[in-house]
Chains A and B, each alone.
Chain A
């Protein structure tokens, strides 16, 4: 958020009309993990589950704050928001998520180390 000249708080994402750099118009492919994030969002919001609505996803992205918002890529913002909201709703527990993330990170590091040794 920033405070404009009238003293009002302007949330970081609401940047329409502010000075900005050039727009990158190149086409690009999505990485497999980005497609998975998209799929996770579709599954969570489908009519059968209705766990998460796109409005909640957007709200969660807006609440990441200016530094994180700018540092993360598009689908990184999505998964950060999804994780926060699933924790809020009690769908997943922080401890459960933390342990799973650590296990996956360890697995990746082991695979990387093995790759280097080969």
Chain B
């Protein structure tokens, strides 16, 4: 694996995009800011694999941590609560 575009600790944002088809970025996270907490590895792009196209370039998968209060405006739990999920690089952009 080459050096990842987003190293551990990098602030990232899930892209605000709404394409049709098999999409691997949950709706509720789009537009939200998190932080890379692990670089999982390089894998076939599931959004292409879902349509039987298996020869595409590999994509880096990241584990991203979000503050619950960032995702849910009415979150009533402790402010330190976080949510971690795995997101492919094509859905991430740098965040300030």
Contact = CB atoms under 8 A, between A and B. Distances in A.
A89 B23 CA distance: 21
Interface string B43-57: 000110111101000
B26 A55 contact: no
B49 A14 contact: no
Contacts of A16: 26-28
Interface stretch (A28-36, A56-64, A92-100, A104-112): A56-64
Nearest to B22: A59
Closest 7 CB pairs of A and B: A59-B50, A17-B28, A55-B49, A8-B18, A59-B22, A55-B50, A55-B46
Contacts of A14: 23, 26-27
Given A10-B18, A11-B23, A55-B49, 20 more contacts: A8-B18, A9-B18, A10-B27, A14-B23, A14-B26, A14-B27, A16-B27, A17-B28, A17-B72, A53-B49, A53-B52, A53-B54, A55-B22, A55-B46, A55-B50, A56-B50, A56-B51, A56-B52, A58-B22, A59-B51
